[in-house]
Amino acid sequence: MIRFILLQNRQGKTRLAKYYVPLEDSEKHKVEYEVHRLVVNRDPKFTNFVEFRTHKVIYRRYAGLFFSLCVDITDNELAYLESIHLFVEILDHFFSNVCELDLVFNFHKVYLILDEFILAGELQETSKKAIIERMGELEKLE
């Protein structure tokens, strides 16, 4: 199960945070700080999986952004690494080469995209085509 998803820049500013487990605000800030410190200083030659408390953080860096997922220790790391890439591909499709400012100014669309393939901390849809079609239908309603 996914505990939380964080999108952070190199300076540690959180651009998107979605929690699937209840945490106090102070604990959320602490977690965001700790995850950033954990992933930003890692050597690029190391794996994209790192133990975090009693869970695992799977992360991937795209340009200046770190996409981090915290999952159960027994979950499949490669499946979640691919889900991060799927998320970025879908963002690229909607924002034509997504950048940090797209996430800041269109955060509501980013959350909609995220909600289309992750539900209650579990991957629900892995088809890029299906997600893009569904997002197209939602845009027609707006």
How many CB atoms sit inside 10 A of residue 8's CB? 23
Range of the domain at 107: 2-141
* Whether pTM exceeds 0.85: yes
In the chain, the number of structural domains is 1
Does residue 37 sit in helix, strand or coil?
A: helix
- Tell me the CATH number at 116: 3.30.450.60
Mean pLDDT in order along the chain per 10 residues (142 residues):
96 95 96 95 91 95 94 95 95 91 92 92 92 90 80
- Predicted local distance difference test score (pLDDT) of residue 138: 87
List phi, psi (to 5°) of 29. Answer: -65, -40
- Predicted local distance difference test score (pLDDT) of residue 142: 74
